[in-house]
Amino acid sequence: MRLLNRIAMITGGGSGIGRATAHRFASEGAKVVVADINDESGIKTVEDIEAAGGAGRFVHADVTVAAEVKALVRQTIEVYGGVDILVNNAFFCDGDDILTVDEDLWDKNIRGCLSSVFLCSKAVLPHMIDRRHGAIVNIASVNGLLGLGEEGYSAAKAGIISLTQNIAVRYGEHQVRANAICPGSIQTPAWVPVLEKDPDLFERLSKWYPLQRIGQPEEVAAAALFLASDEASFITGTTLVVDGGLTAGLKRMGEELVGK
Ligand SMILES: NC(=O)c1ccc[n+]([C@@H]2O[C@H](COP(=O)([O-])OP(=O)(O)OC[C@H]3O[C@@H](n4cnc5c(N)ncnc54)[C@H](O)[C@@H]3O)[C@@H](O)[C@H]2O)c1
């Protein structure tokens, strides 16, 4: 078991990538604290973990609110005695072109994606430093690497990469590691409203990916497990791209170059 008795806090653990990560971590022996604003889905994640023989706990927490984040960390420490792993996965995404996005919506994207990572990291770091042990895994996005639209969300995701590097550099001497993951398109409930309006979207998106498909949440969870585990003991401050090759190059441009 790769995370035996480790205490892992997963934000947005009620759905999609967070849920798959919670399951995977629990199956590797971790005690998992699922934090979510959606009580029903958060509780369901924990029930499923327990039904499979794992250990978990749901805590209602809005990770954009400092007091709720502090209470989340306090409860985790009361119940399990510490925090070894933090997966910052919760997010907010709305709006596209900055010319059509007002300040309020811009702030919501930054708060939901980036300030939440700031708040949760700030709350767990003192405990990780005390124990001289900790792994933070931040779920960013390929939107933080390339201009793909949704500017508020994308800028926040690029910010996560920088925050990850700075945490890694500043707290490495305390044996705290921090790494980011940049997923490409992953089939999760986040897409449901989009697919209702545009059912063929995944089929069209798949053509942009060298692997000719979009990803599954378990494929991101596997990367999170690696970065959270001791197998990644000398890896910190890095960004692991889990995108089916999307950001590796431009096939059509290559073909243009050689005149195909
Ligand atoms: N799905 C994709 O295609 C994709 C691609 C790149 C990156 N990502 C990133 O992966 C992460 C997970 O996305 P997903 O697709 O699994 O989403 P999802 O919608 O399936 O799950 C997100 C969960 O976060 C919770 N949440 C939202 N705001 C919260 C808050 N303020 N406090 C606590 N919980 C909150 C939601 O209730 C939900 O349970 C996000 O960071 C997202 O940006 C997803």
Q: What is the pLDDT of residues 169-228, one digit of tens each?
A: 999 999 999 999 999 999 999 999 999 999 999 999 999 999 999 999 999 999 999 999
At residue 46, the pLDDT reads 98
**Element at 59 (helix H, strand E):** strand 55-60
Facing residues of 134 across strands?
176
139 CA: nearest ligand 1 atom: 41
Question: Taking the complete model, does pTM exceed 0.85, yes or no?
Answer: yes
Neighbours of 167 (CB within 10 A): 25
Q: What is the mean pLDDT of residues 57-76?
A: 98
Q: What is the mean pLDDT of residues 7-33?
A: 98
Tokens encoding 219: 């494929």
Instruction: Tell me the percentage of the chain whose pLDDT exceeds 90.
Output: 99
CA atoms of 23 and 13, how far apart (whole Å): 9
Neighbours of 251 (CB within 10 A): 11
Measuring from atom 24 of ligand 1, which residue has the nearest CA? 12
Q: How far is the CA of 16 from the centre of ligand 1 (A)?
A: 7
- pLDDT of 57 strictly over 90: yes
* Residue 182, phi then psi, degrees to nearest 5: -115, 95
Q: Please list every protein residue whose CB sits less than 6 Å from any atom of ligand 1.
A: 11-12, 14-18, 35-38, 41, 61-64, 89-92, 112, 116, 139, 141, 183, 185-186, 188-190
Measuring from atom 42 of ligand 1, which residue has the nearest CA? 91
Would you tell me the crossing angle of helices 151-171 and 103-110 to the nearest 10 degrees? 40
The three-state secondary structure class of 25 is: helix
Q: What is the mean pLDDT of residues 114-127?
A: 98
Q: Is 108 a catalytic residue?
A: no
- Mean confidence (pLDDT) of the chain: 98
Instruction: Tell me the percentage of the chain whose pLDDT exceeds 70.
Output: 100
Q: What is the mean pLDDT of residues 63-67?
A: 98
Q: In whole angstroms, how large is the CA radius of gyration of the chain?
A: 18
- pLDDT of 260 strictly over 90: no
Label residue 184 exposed, middle or buried (CB < 10 Å: 0-12, 13-18, 19+).
buried
Instruction: Find out whether 90 and 60 touch, Cβ atoms under 8 Å.
Output: no
Instruction: Find out whether 242 and 215 touch, Cβ atoms under 8 Å.
Output: yes
Tokens 């925090």, located at residue? 83
Type of residue numbered 30? A
**Domains along the chain with CATH numbers:** 7-257 (3.40.50.720)
Q: What is the mean pLDDT of residues 12-39?
A: 98
Q: How far is the CA of 256 from the centre of ligand 1 (A)?
A: 37
Q: Is 157 a catalytic residue?
A: yes
CA atoms of 88 and 2, how far apart (whole Å): 20
142 CA: nearest ligand 1 atom: 6
Type of residue numbered 107? D
Q: How far is the CA of 13 from the centre of ligand 1 (A)?
A: 8
At residue 166, the pLDDT reads 99
